[in-house]
Amino acid sequence: MTAVVIVGAQWGDEGKGKVVDIYTEAADMVVRYAGGPNAGHTLVVGGDRLVVRLIPSGILRPRSACLLGQGMVVDPETLSTEIAELERRGLLVDRDLLVSDRAHMILPYHVLVDTLREQGASAIGTTKRGVGPCYEDKAARVGIRMGALRDAARLRAGVEVALARWAPVIRSLGGGVPAADEVCAHVRRFEGSVVSRLTDTGARVDEAISAGRRVLFEGAQGALLDVDHGTYPFVTSSSAVAGGACTGAGVGPSRIDAVVGLTKAYTTRVGGGPFPTELEDDVGELIRRRGGEFGSVTGRPRRTGWLDLPALRYARRVNGLDGIALTKLDVLSGLSEVRVCVAYRTPAGETRDFPIDDLARAEPVYQTLPGWGPVDGARSLGDLPASARAYVDLVVRESGCPLFLLSVGPDRAATIVARDPWDIPRRAGG
């Protein structure tokens, strides 16, 4: 087994940091392939907390190379800050931290547009870090790629073209248009720490796979936020599904050996958009408090609700999941009963599918199970209380996704590994 994709199977924030950390213990290379500084992982280094937004969480493991792939959008300022923080902690000694020279650069005008839009009536709840406008420029073919940091004239020419396009938008939103000189001077402050790390990361990933090294592709956000497969238009601007690892890291589908989907034992969502199993009562509040469901980038309270199995089946399909890592089971401990959405009632009848294009008219059909007591001490499935075990079995059976990992607490030890994705044999012909 050499290439594993780990991907959010819900609306993001599924506890990726912990699970990626466990899987990267055996990885030689960790690659982020989509999104930008709108992701956020809290890393704990010797009791010291550090939030990384761009750099993969694999950075905590001394042996893994960390790559930022070409499907990402990178803010050079955020990247430089993260590099400095990691250097200060001695985490970048003798290791590769490489950035694709084809990843698109987030520039101050992207952040400005994102912020101004979020102040208006058309706000969708972005993290205001310029991610959406940067991907707009990429699709409009006026984006500036990280490689432009090597060439001041190219950078300047690109900024002028993009600014001319954004100026009317910025003005119409009530903002002031920055000067091209100002933008370039700002960005060039970060050249020193970034340029030496720029490379064709796709080639490096390909070499690593060919050499039989273990490569982990770390997805950002979750399948239901994917620009193609998510709850459009309340989605992110990039490919948050497993297929995004191919375009975003620069490898072909035959190179991927396994895909693991992450899901919490309940559901959360940040920002606007449909969320049929949402709880707006005391139970929802309890889950938010117990689960620490506040955005790691924005601090915003997350919306909370019951687990949605039709949504998980949908995530299985669009990602080709080989199985799931189920997290935060402990957060539901102590509830007298737990509900789980198993189907939807729609105007056309009951369905086990996720009616993603008509969620407003779909009503969840719940199954109610007895609750359970503490589970955070469980170290094998056999240690779980019977009702917790029944819940896990139901999720596995109804989603059609075998269990790879069960997380029963924030600590690393509070983890039950049912199956190791690195043990899956390499795909023939890959």
Q: Which residues are registered as beta bridge partners of 262?
A: 8, 325
Examine residue 117 and tell whether it contacts ligand GDP (CB under 6 A). Answer: no
Give the count of beta carbons closer than 10 Å to the beta carbon of residue 270: 22
- The answer to whether 277 touches 310, Cβ cutoff 8 Å, is no
Q: Which of 144, 251, 408, 424 binds ligand GDP (CB under 6 A)?
A: 408
* Dist. CA 224–CA 277, nearest whole Å: 14
Size of the site for ligand GDP (CB under 6 A): 19
Phi and psi at 338, nearest 5°, equal -125, 135
Examine residue 42 and tell whether it contacts ligand GDP (CB under 6 A). Answer: yes
Q: Which of 2, 11, 17, 76 binds ligand GDP (CB under 6 A)?
A: 17
Q: Which of 2, 5, 10, 18 binds ligand GDP (CB under 6 A)?
A: 18
Examine residue 327 and tell whether it contacts ligand GDP (CB under 6 A). Answer: yes
* Dist. CA 349–CA 222, nearest whole Å: 28
Selected range binding ligand GDP among 230-238, 242-250, 349-357, 407-415, rule: CB under 6 A: 407-415
Per the listing, tokens 């993001």 go with 12
Q: Is 13 a catalytic residue?
A: yes
Characterize 278-317 residue by residue with b for buried, 16 or more Cβ atoms within 10 angstroms of its Cβ, and e for exposed. Answer: bbeeebbebbbebbebebbbbeeebbbbbbbbbbbbbbbe
When the beta carbons of 168 and 374 are compared against ligand GDP, the nearer one is 374
Q: How far is the CB of 42 from ligand GDP (least distance, A)?
A: 5
Examine residue 53 and tell whether it contacts ligand GDP (CB under 6 A). Answer: no
End-to-end CA distance of the chain: 11
Q: At what angle do helices 131-139 and 108-118 cross, to 10 degrees?
A: 120
Q: Is 186 a catalytic residue?
A: no
Q: Which of 2, 6, 9, 13 binds ligand GDP (CB under 6 A)?
A: 13
Q: What angle do CA 392, 388, 346 make, to 5 degrees?
A: 55
Selected range binding ligand GDP among 8-16, 72-80, 309-317, 332-340, rule: CB under 6 A: 8-16
Selected range binding ligand GDP among 39-47, 150-158, 170-178, 225-233, rule: CB under 6 A: 39-47
Q: Which of 15, 35, 69, 230 binds ligand GDP (CB under 6 A)?
A: 15
> Could you list the residues that contact ligand GDP (CB under 6 A)?
13-18, 40-42, 292, 296, 327-328, 330-331, 407-410
Catalytic residues: 13, 41
